[in-house]
Amino acid sequence: MSFGPPLLLSSLNPLAVAGGADIPNAVTIDGSTLSRSDLLGAATSVAERIARAERVAVLAEPTVTTVLAVVGCLIAGVTVVPVPPDSGATERAHILADSGAQVWLGKAPEGSELPVVPVRRHARSWHSYPEPDPATPAFVLYTSGTTGLPKGVVLGRGAIAAGLDALADAWAWTADDVLVHGLPLFHVHGLILGVLGALRVGSPLIHTGKPTPRAYAAAKGSLYFAVPTVWSRMVEDPEAAQQLTTARLLVSGSAPLPMPVFERLRELTGHAPIERYGMSETMITLSTRADGERRPGWVGTPVRGVRTRLRDESGAPVPHDGESIGGLQVRGPMLFDGYLNRPDATAESWTDDGWFRTGDVAVIDPEGFHRIVGRESVDLIKSGGYRIGAGEVETVLLGHPAVAEVAVVGLPDDDLGQRVVAFVVRRASDAGTTERELIAHVAEQLSVHKRPREIRLVDALPRNAMGKVQKKLLS
């Protein structure tokens, strides 16, 4: 397998720094700006402090500390476990125990027992580390499945390098771009594409803290990344949207971009957005191209190195005729290595002949354009671009003494794509636990975006003759 140039050397481009071609505004985040040489010096000093660790946890707030911690680990060849800063007790304990993270690098959440290694923004080291093997895991990213607690997706350095280079090719992304986004730094989208992509390509990054239309408009970049919820809020603020006219490329992903939002964005900014599709497990495998057709509702063609196919439930091929629907399977150099500690789940997600089952249902037209139709399971919800497992939320709600039965579903939502709704049957003995208390209970245990937006108290859940809840009847 070919991995392209190494992740670190070309991502931090030390030769350019040494040659005097520093980038004064390589990363702007949390109101602070780091030049490329600041970043390299401070991150190398982080590397010196953690070089003997194997896996470290980083509380992934959108700050300079997070960026230095992650880059320091990449320099040293240490695996990073990004932890959502708002993750509740159960989720965080699971991530730490499952990943075996040895320390917190940067900042620790209150009450954590792991030791903390500080990140010093003004420390500098110019020690030179050899490029680690491309097969070394760079990240363990936790992502929800249909049931149980999140699984750790192990992403290797070589996969990340290949994935980023394929996007630079598809989007004609160069050092002349200024990337703007305000996405969380614990997922592929915000962290790997949004921070490491900018560093690898050499385009300055402006992270806006939160992805609000006003902040995006004020940043005046050339390349914008956002999830559909952000684009949908953008078109509700035409004055902000019109500021993006001077941009080069607006990119949408992580969830389906509604066609009216695509069209309105084109009217307001003059740009038809680029749509791309991916997963934590695969990085980005499909995209429309900077120099190609952009078709509302379609996510484009395979990026460099990717192949795709459709299969029906029996594993038989489904024709690529633009109409027939099948399970989407992918292969390519940017795919993950497997789920940490979960050989069962890893084996299940691959076919015998080496294709990854995405769990998404798609059509492919004769020109190779892809449209994502939906997910195979109703138990994976996408809300605001976050992937949320219904089973994980149900388990936490069932742990509340007031709850006898529960079914969690994603209902259509104009702003979020889907919103998390829990149908709850309270115990007969319960003396009036409120919806608000149940929502707060979930927020204490899991990341806050997993909180149900709504709790509907019902007398019974619809079940079939086998006693299985019929979620399709819940609306």
Sketch the per residue contact string, 289 through 328, with ligand AMP: x for CB under 6 A, - otherwise: ----------x-----------------------------
Give the binding site for ligand MCA (CB under 6 A): 183-184, 187-190, 211, 227, 229-230, 253-254, 278-280, 384-386, 439, 448-449, 451-453
Is 358 an interacting residue with respect to ligand AMP (CB under 6 A)? Answer: yes
Residue 428: how many other CB atoms lie within 10 Å: 6
Is 275 an interacting residue with respect to ligand AMP (CB under 6 A)? Answer: yes
Sketch the per residue contact string, 114 through 143, with ligand AMP: x for CB under 6 A, - otherwise: -----------------------------x
Paired residues of 279 in beta bridges: 283
Is 357 an interacting residue with respect to ligand AMP (CB under 6 A)? Answer: no
Q: Which residue minimizes CB distance to ligand MCA?
A: 384
Partner from ligand AMP, ligand MCA, none contacting 382, C-beta within 5 to 8 A by type = ligand AMP
Q: How far is the CB of 227 from ligand AMP (least distance, A)?
A: 9
Q: Give me the long-range contacts of 346-352 (CB less than 8 A, separation at least 24).
A: 349/281, 351/311, 351/315
- The two tokens of residue 39 are 């970043």
> Residue 206: CB partners within 8 Å, gap ≥ 6?
28, 29, 178, 179, 180, 219, 221
Site for ligand AMP in 224-263 (CB under 6 A): 253-256
Paired residues of 32 in beta bridges: 29
Q: How far is the CB of 408 from ligand MCA (least distance, A)?
A: 12
Structural Rg of the chain based on CA atoms: 22
Report yes or no: 358 and 348 within 8 Å, Cβ to Cβ: no
Partner from ligand MCA, ligand AMP, none contacting 46, C-beta within 5 to 8 A by type = none
Which H/E stretch holds residue 17?
helix 14-18
- Candidates 91, 77, 71; CA nearest to 27 is 71
Is 277 an interacting residue with respect to ligand AMP (CB under 6 A)? Answer: yes
Smaller CB separation from ligand MCA, 188 or 409 = 188
Report yes or no: 161 and 5 within 8 Å, Cβ to Cβ: yes
Smaller CB separation from ligand MCA, 41 or 85 = 85
Partner from ligand MCA, ligand AMP, none contacting 211, C-beta within 5 to 8 A by type = ligand MCA
Length of the chain: 475
Q: How far is the CB of 188 from ligand AMP (least distance, A)?
A: 6
Euclidean distance between the first and the last CA atom of the chain, given in angstroms as a whole number: 47
Paired residues of 199 in beta bridges: none
Binding site for ligand AMP (CB under 6 A): 143, 188, 253-256, 275-280, 299, 358-360, 372, 375, 382, 387
